Structure 1
Amino acid sequence: MKETKPPIIVIKKKKKHGRHESHGAWKIAYADFMTAMMAFFMVMWLISIADPQKLESLAEYFRMPLHVAMSPGKYQSDATNIIPGGEAGHDTQSIQSIPQPTAREKEKERDRQALQRLKNKIENILSTDPRLKALRSQLFITMIERGLRIQIVDSHQRPMFLKGSAKIEPYMMDILHALAPIFNDVPNKISIAGHTDDSPYLMGDRGFSNWELSTQRANSSRRELVRAGLTERKVIRIIGMSDTMNVKGLKADAPENRRISVLILTKEAQSDIEKENDQGQALTISAADDLVQAITPHGKVVEESHHVSTQEKK
């Protein structure tokens, strides 16, 4: 047999050439270069048009950036300096600290916070006490500059007093009896004012009038508060206002003008009232001294009378 030779297999391998990964890198570098040049020329242009004062501020910032940033200057929104937060020419000694509240301001803040807590407590009682829920519309509680004001207003359905009288109705008693122990929870003193509408009495000011009625109603409220447990020395003032201060926005004959206003005074307001009394006493003493000096020149008569009284005592 004829011997067969195996076929010859020729494998041709193509030589692979390495890929050039960096053929576009120069474009990126060129773009970066152009951007930098553009920024450079922009800065040069801004410097060329800037006035010397702005250039000085700019130079100061780059010399001591932290110092300039901390220096007091105008706010960024209205700053004339090109570097917000500082002004040229300031040194570190001009840095101002945040002003701290004084002892008086801290005391006033604590006082108002205590009155605010009292307001929240009263409002909570008004919403939970079954006796007072129906009367909630007749009470107005507001914080004013001189303290916490609680106004108890009249209505056609539930008058606080008998008509033309200072006799308290049961509705009013319920309110005062609920408030009395709460007022004792704070050391602040109380001012009570009575108000009426403009309905006149037949005798007018020559007899019993709204002035007497408003004063008597305020004092009746004080007596009822004391009867309900209020410390008697808590009340510093009783005022009758007649119809001189009506509720804003209401007619003069509106029932809401018939009201009792209880003001729990801030300590500052209380101090002002007490100073009025002190000043009045000082004026009285001064006037008395002037009178004595006017009728007793050089104090001779005073000395003689003092000598006589001394002899009598002996």
Structure 2
Amino acid sequence: MSKGADKRPIVIRRKKVVHAHHGGAWKIALADFMTALMALFLVLWILSISSDEQRRGVAEYFSTPLVTAITGGDQSGSTRVIPGGGPDPTHSDGERARIDISQHTRPSLQERRFFTDLQARIESAIEQDPELRQLRSQMRFDLTREGLRIQLLDTDQRPMFELGSDQVAPYMRSLLRTMAPLLNELPNDLSISGHTDSVPYAGGYRGYSNWELSNDRANASRRELVAGGLDPDQLLRVSGFADRVLLPDATPIDPRNRRIELVVLLPEIADAIRNPSVLGPQDLVEDENSAIEALENMPQADIAQ
């Protein structure tokens, strides 16, 4: 055979591989997973920097029924910041609701938001003043059944008043006059109360005592607020409690008991102060019968104690 016959053509067959399209579902799943992780990290970060009061507000928000949330937390249809109401809760005939104080256990969600905003404005105004900034540790904000309570506490190093008198310290005067315009923006009434520690005067309670001192300091605070721009008509109650209402975390002689309490009152609380309910003869009979029934049902061992 010839050499040319041995040289056969070499045919190389290359199989063409076609990759099938598997879809991008895994990409969507990965994106969802990363988004969920980012949301989790943001929630954990916000919780770590938020205060106890802010966390309670968030919990209150998510525990609100859907209908109440949609209506803004007010079933009366009122457009006021503090929810009102009238004889018919579906109408806004009258902004002051007729509420049973015994059933009103705490401010509503909308009232909490309103008071939290007021607290933030007061704290911001104090933070902008280098002198007042040092007093922030002597202030306490909390919500009570009466409304937003602002406590101005004494310390031995920085007392709010001259020792044993109602002479307002200069920084206390500046603090009250800074707060006055912010409180004046509210339609709510204001209550002012003075408190002292349990250190008695030399003459006891027969002469000038802690009762007069606490009342005089409350009045001195009232004068400074009015001088700072507070509307006098918003002042509903000025009182002195001497040493009868001590701080829960303080001893009787703790200087922090020497304090001024400002309470931004809820509308229904202000109405109850202006118009205290009077018990009639029938109410007294029912109360007496209830007391007798309670005693009859009480175990004898408890009665002996």
TM range (shorter): 0.5 to 0.7
Q: Is 1:103–2:89 an aligned residue pair?
A: no
Q: CA RMSD in A?
A: 2.6
Report deviation, 1:99: 6.6
User: 1:142 Cα shift?
Assistant: 1.4
* Compared CA separation, residues 263 and 106, structure 1 to 2 (3 A): closer
CA distance in 2, matches of 1:129, 1:206: 43
Q: Which amino acid aligns with 2:174?
A: D
User: Would you say the 8 A contact 1:131–1:174 is kept in 2?
Assistant: no
Tell me the distance in 1 between the aligned counterparts of 2:263 and 2:234: 11
Percent of aligned positions with the same letter in both sequences?
Answer: 39
Write the distance in 1 (CA, Å) between the matches of 2:268 and 2:129. Answer: 32
Within 2, Cα distance between the matches of 1:182 and 1:98?
32
Structure-2-length-normalised TM-score: 0.56
Cα distance between partner residues in 2 of 1:144 and 1:128: 28
- Cross-structure match for 1:234: 234
Distance 1:186 1:98, change over 3 A: closer
Per-residue deviation, residues 219-249 of structure 1 (Å, max 9, x unmatched): 0000111011111111100110000111112
Q: CA separation of 1:163/1:98 partners in 2, compared to 1, >3 Å: closer, same or farther? A: closer
Partner of 2:132: 132
Is the contact between residue 112 and residue 266 of structure 1 (CA under 8 Å) also seen in structure 2?
Answer: no
Cα distance change of structure 1 residues 204 and 125 upon mapping to structure 2, 3 Å threshold: same
Corresponding residue of 1:261? 261
Gaps (5+ residues) in structure 1? Answer: 1-96, 284-314
Deviations 1:74-125 (CA, angstroms, capped at 9, x unpaired): xxxxxxxxxxxxxxxxxxxxxxx98766329954554443222111111222
Unmatched tracts of structure 2, length 5 or more: 1-64, 69-73, 85-107, 282-305
Tell me what 1:142 maps to: 142
Residues in 2 aligned to 1:251 and 1:128: alpha-carbon distance in whole angstroms: 33
Task: Map 1:112-123; keep pairs closer than 5 Å.
Answer: 112-123=112-123
Change in 2 beyond 3 A, CA 1:271/1:113: farther
Which one has the largest radius of gyration? 1
Q: Tell me the residue number matched to 1:168.
A: 168
Distance 1:113 1:183 in 2: 16
Amino acid across the alignment from 1:113? R
Q: Give aligned pairs, total.
A: 186
Structure-2 change in CA distance of 1:157 and 1:273 (3 Å): same
State yes or no: 1:205 paired with 2:178: no
Structure with the higher fraction of residues in helix conformation: 1
Give the letter for the 2:267 counterpart.
K
Q: CA deviation at 1:206?
A: 1.0
CA distance in 2, matches of 1:238, 1:179: 17
Cα distance in 2 for partners of 1:279, 1:233 equals: 25
TM superposition score normalised by structure 1: 0.55
1:279: Cα distance to partner?
4.7
